[in-house]
Structure 1
């Protein structure tokens, strides 16, 4: 996402002819979009975002389970020794 935002910023600066970006070659201005495409291709191929999503879901499930166990009085705080 950062690469896309950087690409949009550079594209806007080039279009508005703001120096020094106005003097840069177009391939320099458009290169962050290529970097974003490479990043997304790698992330999809390796499952990077899917693993992150699954980790978040597991954490939420564990927190919900712990909260429910405490509400029932069977959590680690309420166990008899």
Structure 2
């Protein structure tokens, strides 16, 4: 998520030509977009982060159901 926030911030700063980002090429920002896409499409899958997050969410929901049942 910090990567997406940084990309959006850089895009806004470049669009409004603020500070040293005004001289930055649009290709750098487009490259960051491409890197973020590749990371979220392939990098997280290869490291298993996508399934780990889904498993954690399911486990949390299960624990909440157990708490409700035994209260």
TM value normalised by structure 2: 0.67
Aligned partners of 1:7 and 1:30 also within 8 Å: no
Aligned twin of 1:24: 24
| Whole-Å separation in 2 of the counterparts to 1:37 and 1:43 | 11
Bigger radius of gyration: 1
Aligned twin of 1:67: 68
Higher helix share: 2
| Whole-Å separation in 2 of the counterparts to 1:66 and 1:21 | 51
| Whole-Å separation in 1 of the counterparts to 2:60 and 2:7 | 34
State how many pairs are aligned: 70
TM value normalised by structure 1: 0.62
Distance 1:12 1:67, change over 3 A: closer
Structure 1 gaps of 5+ residues are 72-81
Equivalent position SS for 1:17: coil
Structure 2 gaps of 5+ residues are none
Aligned twin of 1:45: 46
> What value does the CA root-mean-square deviation take over the aligned residues?
2.2
The CA deviation string for residues 31-81 of structure 1, in whole angstroms up to 9 with x for no partner, is 33133123212113333122211122123213322431x34xxxxxxxxxx
